[in-house]
Structure 1
Amino acid sequence: MNTIHDYEIERFTVEFKKNTISIDISSEQRQKQIVFQEVFCYKFYEEMPYSIISDLEERPIEDFFKENKELLNQTKNYAWPIMYDSIQELVNKIKDADVHYQVLSSSYGMNGWVLAKRVEIIDLN
């Protein structure tokens, strides 16, 4: 994937009707945009100015369930990320959706993850 290490996050936009998330990032010389398409769900933490990206990594979908077990249990009764009766039902729906688990890590600031069908890094220069 196109390198984005040490890029600063300038802004992110969630477009619910288009089902996309765009993250505008920059270095001293380059402008790029990370675009997640056909988003199933996402969670960002520590959203703050001057966030610096370490990596955007695709992990196996099974890791999503292991790494977010507590979150999924806490939010089940709030119909997040969707309505489901059992974790196995949620697992099946996410696997049927054919999404990828993308994990955004930072050396400072915003981090999190996105379940989406596609991710693209666009060079804006």
Structure 2
Amino acid sequence: MHDSLLVGYSVDGERRTLSLRLRPHHGNAPGPFRIEFDGVFAHRFDAPLLPAIVSDLEEAPAAALIEDEWDDIQARERRNGWPGGAWKIGDLQAARAYVEREGLNAYWLSSSYGLDGWVLARSVRLVAEPP
């Protein structure tokens, strides 16, 4: 995945999925592939410049993401209701308990150029695409 080129992404709010489309760049991947997130609760990509050169996708406990991003999540929730759904949780302890109860994981996407961000979802998988 390292140094692959992220060329697009799509979100399906009804199915609660998010898909990242990547292609080889500098010969690191054998062919085009997708990163598929299922059970997506929320995501945030700052300055989504595409194509982006992916550095890594790291999984972490969802509670750690909630803790790191809490001030931003609260500000965005007050401003426009993001991330929506059952999120109306007033304090950090309740939010951490919620993501743990829902079985969510945090996925941090980093790039050396372009889009960075995170996804809160139940699972992730890599899917090879035909060349």
Do both proteins adopt the same fold according to a TM-score greater than 0.5, normalized to the shorter chain?
Answer: yes
Structure 1 unaligned segments of length 5 or more: list them: none
- Cα distance in 2, alignment partners of residues 50 and 79 from structure 1: 29
1:57 aligns with 2:58: yes
**TM-score of the superposed pair, with normalisation by structure 2:** 0.85
- Cα distance in 2, alignment partners of residues 50 and 85 from structure 1: 37
Q: 1:124 aligns with which of 118, 125, 129?
A: 129
- Cα distance in 2, alignment partners of residues 76 and 124 from structure 1: 36
* CA displacement, residues 57-105 of structure 1 (integer Å, 9 cap, x when unaligned): 0012332123202212312424333212222222211111101110000
Structure 2 unaligned segments of length 5 or more: list them: none
**TM-score of the superposed pair, with normalisation by structure 1:** 0.89
Q: Is the contact made by 2:7 and 2:23 (CA closer than 8 Å) also made in structure 1?
A: yes
Within-5 A mapping of 1:1-125? 4-28=1-25, 30-77=31-78, 78-81=80-83, 82-125=87-130
Q: CA deviation at 1:35?
A: 0.3
Higher share of residues assigned strand: 1
Size of the aligned set, in residue pairs, is: 122
| Aligned-pair Cα RMSD in Å | 1.5
Q: Is the contact made by 1:20 and 1:35 (CA closer than 8 Å) also made in structure 2?
A: yes
Q: Secondary structure at the match of 1:105?
A: strand
Q: CA deviation at 1:53?
A: 0.2
Percent identity, aligned pairs only?
A: 26
